[in-house]
């Protein structure tokens, strides 16, 4: 199992390097694909993945990515209202086929997997995005690794005993500190090439620290959904890691966190 997980991890890192280096249409399409797969996994938990309610969610997500591509961000609120109206229309005219929880999950999935994860592409498209996009991975995967190591060495106080008994407060603090250090070191190497970020070492360290805190919330949130519905993994798309939601749960939160943190910090 460890070997499978390690190989998958190496492949994921290699793909991340290719995607972040290339950017553009390739990253846009892959990000949209990951969002839709993640929505499918979430909707499958609620048993709406192939039903009209789920199809409406996929349509809204695809429409949102069209807005992102054509830089029509002013239409996002309109899209959200239209999506909610469509979902409620389906709910009303098929009553009692769906529960209220299924409807709210369908709407939630559009934001959770569609809008939030899209910031992986949007950070890459920012000025200096070819460098700043790596902060998403440093604050997500870097935080996971540092939190694991710190927890193994110093962990004594449970962070969320019921939800995730193995996570500790010391591990969480270590993850944040580790992510901040990684951001600082990254900026020490590439900071001079960032044209629009003043004091890149401080900006990247603070951005990674902020995103690392939020990253751990994202991880626990995905776990909470699984526990509520007695699901072990969201899928088996990634050998040794599970589904898209199992591997990208923290990145869903770090991508928008890095986008807005860098926007304000620079």
Long-range contact pairs involving 86-93 (C-beta distance under 8 Å, separation at least 24): 86/56, 86/59, 86/60, 87/53, 87/56, 87/57, 90/52, 90/53, 90/56, 91/53
Residue, of 247 and 50, whose pLDDT is higher: 50
Please state the rounded mean pLDDT for residues 5-29: 85
- Any idea which residue has 């900006």 for tokens? 203
Q: Output the CA–CA distances (angstroms, integers) from residue 149 to 2, 10, 48, 171, 206, in the order listed.
A: 17, 19, 39, 7, 21
Give per-residue pLDDT as tens, 113-156: 999 999 999 999 999 999 999 999 999 988 988 998 988 888 78
Examine the pLDDT at 17 and tell me if it is beyond 90.
no
Instruction: Answer whether residue 65 shows pLDDT above 80.
Output: yes
**pTM for the predicted model, two decimal places:** 0.90
Across residues 164-188, what is the average pLDDT?
92
For all residues of the chain together, what is the average pLDDT? 90
Mean pLDDT calculated for residue range 10-32: 90
Domain ranges of the chain: 2-265
* pLDDT for position 247: 82
Q: Give the Cβ contact number of residue 250 at 10 Å.
A: 26
Report H helices in 23-111: 24-45, 52-69, 76-93, 100-109
Which pLDDT belongs to residue 249?
Answer: 85
So what's the pLDDT on residue 167? 87
* pLDDT-based confidence at residue 10 (cuts at 50, 70, 90): confident
């Amino acid at each position: 199992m460890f070997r499978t997980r390690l190989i998958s991890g190496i492949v994921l890192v290699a793909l991340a390097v290719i995607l972040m280096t290339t950017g553009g249409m390739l990253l846009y399409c892959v990000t949209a694909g990951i969002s839709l797969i993640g929505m499918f996994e979430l909707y499958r938990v609620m048993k709406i993945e192939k039903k009209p309610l789920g199809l409406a969610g996929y349509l809204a997500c695809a429409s949102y990515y069209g807005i992102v591509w054509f830089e029509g961000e002013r239409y996002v609120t309109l899209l959200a209202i239209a999506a909610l109206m469509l979902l409620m229309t389906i709910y009303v005219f098929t009553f009692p086929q769906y529960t209220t929880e299924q409807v709210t999950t369908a709407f939630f999935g559009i934001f959770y997997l569609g809008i939030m994860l899209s910031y992986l592409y949007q950070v890459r498209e920012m000025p200096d995005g070819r460098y700043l996009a790596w902060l998403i991975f440093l604050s997500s995967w870097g935080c996971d690794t540092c939190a694991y190591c710190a927890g193994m060495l110093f962990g004594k106080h449970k962070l969320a005993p019921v939800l995730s008994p193995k996570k500790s407060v010391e591990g969480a603090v270590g993850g944040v500190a580790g992510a901040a250090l990684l951001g600082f070191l990254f900026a020490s190497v590439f900071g001079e090439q960032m044209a629009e970020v003043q004091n890149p070492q401080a900006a990247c360290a603070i951005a990674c620290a902020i995103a690392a805190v939020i990253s751990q919330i994202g991880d626990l949130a995905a776990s909470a959904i699984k526990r509520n519905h007695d699901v072990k993994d969201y899928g088996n798309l990634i050998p040794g890691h599970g589904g898209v939601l199992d591997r990208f749960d923290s990145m869903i939160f770090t991508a928008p966190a890095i986008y807005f943190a860098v926007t304000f910090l620079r």
